[in-house]
Structure 1
Amino acid sequence: MLIGFILAYLSINLFVGWWASRKIVNTEDFVLAGRGLSLGLSAMVTFATWFGSETMMGAPSEFIEHGIAGVIEEPFGAALCLILVGLFYARTFYRLNILTFCDYFKIRFGATAELVSAVVMIPSYFGWIAAQLIAMGTVLEVIMGWPLQTGIWLSALLVMSYTLMGGMWSVSVTDFFHNIVLIIGLVILFFVLEEKIGGITPVLNQSPKGFFSFAPRSFSGLGIAQYITAWITVGLGSIPQQDIFQRVMASKNENTAVRASVLAGFLYISVALLPLFIALMAKYLHPELMQSDNRMLIPNLVMKHTNIFLQILFFGALISAVLSTTSGAILAPASVLGENIIKPFFPTLPDKQLLRIIRFSVVLVTFASIWMASSRQDIFELVGESSAFSLVSLFVPLTVGLYWKKANATGCVAAMLLGLGSWAICHFVYETAFPASLIGLFVSLGSMFVGSHINRN
C-alpha cells in the first residue's frame, strides 16, 4: 500500500506538469508563472524554497546532537532570509520588471557584471540540488529497497520532467499541493508521538543543560565568529539567489511579493520546528535507532514503529518537501544560463528560441547535479556550501549596489571574484580555523569599496 501510494503520488506530479505546460506561452510564463500568483499561492511557493532534505533530515540530525546551536543555519537562518527579502529587496526587484536576478546586475553595473554573476551563481545550485536528490534516493532506498544511486537517478528524472513541461507554473501548483501534504503529515506525526510519550515535558527534561539555548557555545573570538557565520550563511547568503527571486517575483503585484515573502518566513520557522522535535521524541522513544547516520532516524522510526497510515503521511510529507525544493532549484540556474549567458551572445534571439534554450538548460543542470549527488553524500554540508558560495560573491554587490549610489562595475566584479576566491582558498585549500565564509564576506566587502573608489567616473 505504501509503495502504491508513493508511485501514485509521484505520478500526480507528472500530470500537474502536463497540465501546467498548457499555460506556457512565453518565457515569462515559464520562468515567473506569468507574474500571476495570489498571496496564498505565492506565500506557499516561497515557503517551499528551502523546506527540503536539510529541513527534514539534515537539521533534525544536527539538532539531536547539538541542540538549537546546531541548527541556527537551518531553519532559523533560512526563515530570516525570507523575512529580509520581503522587507528590503522584494519591492525594489518587482518594480524592475526583470526575468532573472542577474538582469539586475546588467541594469546596475553592465554586461560584464551580468555575465560574471551568472557564472558565479549557476554552480552554487549543484550542491543544493544534489542534497535533495540524495534525500529522495534515501527515501526510495528505505521504502523500495533500491540502491541509493537508482533512487537519485529516478527522482532527478521525475523532477526534471515536470519542471521541463510546466516551468514555474508546475513548481507553483505542485508546491501548493506538496505543502498541504507536508504540514498535515508533520502535525499528525508530532501529536501521535507526543501522545505516546505522555506530553513533550519528559523529552524537554531529559535534554542536556543549554540544549535549547540560542547563545553561542563559546564567547571567544572564534566562537562568536562561528555563531555569526551560522546566522548569515543562509540568512544572508541565500538572498542573492535566483530560486527565491523567481518565487517572490511570480506574485501578481509588488505588495503581494512583499507580504508573501514575510509570511513565508514566519510559516517556515513554525513548520520547520516540527521535524526537529519529532527527531527528539524519536530519540527518546527508540534510542536504539540512533546510528552514525542520524539523518535516517525519523524515516527508520516511521517504518519500524508506526502504522501504514502514518507511514503514508510521513513519506508523503518528506517527498513533498524534497520535490518542492528540487524543482525550483533546477529551474533557477537553467533560467540564468539561458537568459544571462546564452542570450547576450544572440541579441535578436526570438522568445520561443530562448524558451527552448532554458528548457534544454533544465536538462543540463539536472545531470550536473546528479554527478555531484553521486560524488558527495553529506546533505547538511552540501546545503551550507551552496549558500556560502553566494554569500561571499553576490550578497555584497547586490546590497551595496541597491543602497550605495557610488558603487560601480569595477567594485562589483572585484567583490564577486575576490570574495569567492578567498573563500575557496580558506575552505578547500588551507581550511582556516576562522570561518572561511566570514573571510570571503569581508574580502568581498572591502573589494567592493576599494574597486568603486579606484575606478570612479
Structure 2
Amino acid sequence: MITSFIILYLLLTLGVGFWASRRIKTSDDFTLAGKSLSTSFVGVTLFATWFGSSQIMGNPSRFVAEGFTAFFNLVLAPGLCLLVVGIFYARKLYRMNIVTVGDFFKLRYNKSLEVTSSILMVVSYPHWIAAQFVALAYLFNAIIGVPLDYGIFLGAVIVIIYTYIGGMWAVSYTDMIQSIMILLGLIILLTEVLQQAGGIGLFFEERRAEFYDLLPTAGIDSWSEFIALFLAFAVGPIPVQEIYQRVFSARNEKAARNGLFLGAFLMVTIPSIPLLIGLGGAQLYPELMDAGDGQEIIPAMVLMFTSTPVQILFYGAMISAILSTSSGAMLAPATVIGENLIKTYARGISDRRLLLYTRLSVVVVAAFSCYFAFSDIDIVGLVAASLALILVCLFAPFTFGLFWKKASVAGAWAAVITGGFVWFFCYLYETRIDATIYGFVLSCLAMVIGSLVSPDKKHPAWPSDQVKLTRNPPGPE
C-alpha cells in the first residue's frame, strides 16, 4: 500500500511539471517564472529549497545531544539569513533587474569577476545535489526495495524531468505541494509522539542545565565549531543563487521582501517540529539513539509505532523535502550557466536557443551530481567544503559591492583570492580554529585594503541608480 501511494505521488509530481511547462515561452519564464510569483510562492519555495533530509534526520539527533546551541545554528541561523536578506539586500538587488548573482558581479565590477563568481557558484552545487540523490536512494530502497544505484538514477530522472520541462514554474508549484505534505506528515507524527509521552513537558524532563544554553560554555574548540556553523548557515548562504532566483521571480519588490520574511518564519517554525519529535523519541525510546548516531530515530519511530496512513504521509514528506531541495539546487546552477557563462560568450544568441541551453544545463548539473553520488567520496565533507568556498570567496565582494561605494575591482579580486587560499591552507593543515573563520575574516579584510589601495578610476552604476532599469513596474500584491 505504501509503495502504491509513493509511486502515485511521484507520478503526480511529474504531472505538475508537464502542466507547468505550458507557461514556458521564454528563458525568463523558465528561470524566473515570468517574474510573477506572489509572496506565498516566494516564501514557500525558499523554505522548500532549504528544508531537506538533514532537517528531519540530522538535526534532531544533534539537538538531543547538544541542546539549544544546535537549535541556534541549525534552525535560527537559516531563518536569520533570510531575514537579513529581506531587510538589507532584496530591495537593492530586485531593482537592478538582474537574473543571477553573477549579473551583479558583472554590473558592479566586470565580466571577469562575473565568470569567476559564476564558476565558483556552479561548482558548489553538484556535491550538495549528490547528497540529496543518495538520500532519495535510501528512501526508495527502504520503501519499495529499489537497489541504491538504481535509486540514485531514479531520483535524478524524476527531478530532471519536471525541472527541465517546467523550470521555475514547476519548481514553485511542486514546492507548494511538497511543503503541504511535509507539514502534514510532521504534525501527525508529533501528535502521535505527544499522545504517547503524555505532554510536551515530559520531553524536557531530566535535561541537564547546559542543554538550555544558546552559546557554548566549553573552550576554544567548541566556540570554533559554533562560529563556523553560524557563518555557514547564517552568513554563507547570503550570496547564493537559490535565494535570489526566488527574489527575482517575485512580481514586485514588496512580494520579494515579504516572501523572504515568510520563508524566514517557515524556516524557524517547521524545522522545530522534527526537533521536538526527536526529543520525545529519545525520552520514550532511548535505545533508538544508538542507531546511526541517532539520525534514524524519527524513521524508526514511524516504522515501529505509527499506522500505515501516517507512514505514507511521513515518507511522502521525506521524499517531498528531498525533491524540493534537489530541484531548487539544480535550477540555480543551470540558470547561472545559461545567463553568465553561455550568454556571456555566445553573443547574439536567441532567447529560444538560450532557453534550450539552460534546460540542457539542468541535465549536465544532474549528470555531475550523479557521478559524485555513485562514487565513494565523502559527500558530506565535500558539501561542507563547497559551501565554505562560497562564504570565503564571494560574501565580501558581494556585500561590500552592494553597500560600499569604494569597493573596487582590485578589492574584489583580493577578497576572492585571499579568502580562497587562506581557507584552503587552513583546511589542508587542519588548524585548531576552523578554516572558514580565517578565510571569512581575511577575505573581508582584503576587500577593504584592496579597495582603498587600488580604487576604481571610474565607478560603475550604483545599485540604487538601477531603479529605472526595472523590467516590470510594481504590480498588485
- Which residue identity lines up with residue 76 of structure 2 in the other structure? F
Change (3 A) 1:327 1:148: same
- Which residue identity lines up with residue 439 of structure 1 in the other structure? Y
- Which residue identity lines up with residue 5 of structure 2 in the other structure? F
Match in the other structure for 2:100: 100
Match in the other structure for 2:467: none
Match in the other structure for 1:123: 123
Structure-2-length-normalised TM-score: 0.92
Does residue 9 in structure 1 map to residue 5 in structure 2? no
Match in the other structure for 1:280: 279
Change (3 A) 1:30 1:139: same
Match in the other structure for 1:360: 360
Tell which deviates more after alignment, 379-388 or 413-422: 379-388
Match in the other structure for 1:146: 146
Match in the other structure for 1:76: 76
Q: How does 1:34-433 map to 2 (within 5 A)?
A: 34-218=34-218, 220-289=219-288, 290-375=290-375, 381=381, 383-427=383-427, 429-433=428-432
- CA deviation map 1:266-321 (0-9, x unaligned): 12100010011111222222233331343222112212221101101111111111
Distance 2:221 2:30 in 1: 45
8 Å contact from structure 2 (residues 40, 262) kept in 1: no
Deviation at residue 222 of structure 1 after TM alignment: 4.5
Distance 1:203 1:52 in 2: 24
Deviation at residue 376 of structure 1 after TM alignment: 6.1
Distance 2:308 2:79 in 1: 32
Change (3 A) 1:79 1:382: farther
8 Å contact from structure 1 (residues 54, 383) kept in 2: no
Change (3 A) 1:275 1:314: same
8 Å contact from structure 1 (residues 53, 131) kept in 2: no
Match in the other structure for 2:24: 24
- Which residue identity lines up with residue 126 of structure 1 in the other structure? P
Distance 1:376 1:184 in 2: 35
Distance 1:177 1:295 in 2: 26
Distance 2:71 2:430 in 1: 22
Distance 2:204 2:97 in 1: 49
8 Å contact from structure 2 (residues 80, 264) kept in 1: yes
Deviation at residue 415 of structure 1 after TM alignment: 1.1
Deviation at residue 447 of structure 1 after TM alignment: 1.8
Deviation at residue 379 of structure 1 after TM alignment: 7.2
Deviation at residue 123 of structure 1 after TM alignment: 1.1
Tell which deviates more after alignment, 70-79 or 397-406: 70-79
Q: What secondary structure sits across from 1:230 in the alignment?
A: helix
8 Å contact from structure 2 (residues 373, 379) kept in 1: no
Tell which deviates more after alignment, 74-83 or 223-232: 223-232
Distance 2:277 2:386 in 1: 27
Distance 1:382 1:279 in 2: 27
- Which residue identity lines up with residue 39 of structure 2 in the other structure? L
8 Å contact from structure 1 (residues 58, 379) kept in 2: no
8 Å contact from structure 1 (residues 234, 384) kept in 2: no
8 Å contact from structure 1 (residues 181, 317) kept in 2: yes
Distance 1:163 1:330 in 2: 8
Distance 1:222 1:411 in 2: 32
Deviation at residue 207 of structure 1 after TM alignment: 2.8
- Which residue identity lines up with residue 351 of structure 1 in the other structure? D
Tell which deviates more after alignment, 86-95 or 132-141: 132-141
Deviation at residue 121 of structure 1 after TM alignment: 0.9
Match in the other structure for 2:454: 455
8 Å contact from structure 1 (residues 54, 74) kept in 2: no
In percent, how many aligned pairs have the same letter?
41
Distance 1:114 1:349 in 2: 18
8 Å contact from structure 1 (residues 115, 341) kept in 2: yes
Change (3 A) 1:84 1:268: same
- Which residue identity lines up with residue 442 of structure 2 in the other structure? V
Tell which deviates more after alignment, 66-75 or 314-323: 66-75
- Which residue identity lines up with residue 240 of structure 2 in the other structure? Q
Deviation at residue 381 of structure 1 after TM alignment: 4.7
Change (3 A) 1:208 1:146: farther
8 Å contact from structure 2 (residues 192, 306) kept in 1: no
8 Å contact from structure 1 (residues 134, 379) kept in 2: no
Distance 1:233 1:3 in 2: 37
8 Å contact from structure 1 (residues 46, 248) kept in 2: no
Structure-1-length-normalised TM-score: 0.95
Deviation at residue 70 of structure 1 after TM alignment: 3.1
- Which residue identity lines up with residue 239 of structure 1 in the other structure? I
Distance 1:307 1:385 in 2: 40
Q: Cα RMSD (Å) of the superposition?
A: 1.7
Q: What secondary structure sits across from 1:373 in the alignment?
A: helix
Deviation at residue 438 of structure 1 after TM alignment: 0.7
- CA deviation map 1:96-145 (0-9, x unaligned): 11111110000000101101101111111122212222221221122123
Tell which deviates more after alignment, 50-59 or 396-405: 50-59
Q: What secondary structure sits across from 1:432 in the alignment?
A: coil
Deviation at residue 410 of structure 1 after TM alignment: 1.6
Distance 1:350 1:129 in 2: 30
Distance 1:380 1:82 in 2: 24
5+ residue gaps, structure 2, are 458-477
Distance 2:92 2:270 in 1: 28
Match in the other structure for 2:474: none
Deviation at residue 154 of structure 1 after TM alignment: 1.0
Q: What secondary structure sits across from 2:432 in the alignment?
A: coil
- Which residue identity lines up with residue 438 of structure 1 in the other structure? I
Deviation at residue 224 of structure 1 after TM alignment: 3.3
Deviation at residue 77 of structure 1 after TM alignment: 1.6
Q: What secondary structure sits across from 1:277 in the alignment?
A: helix
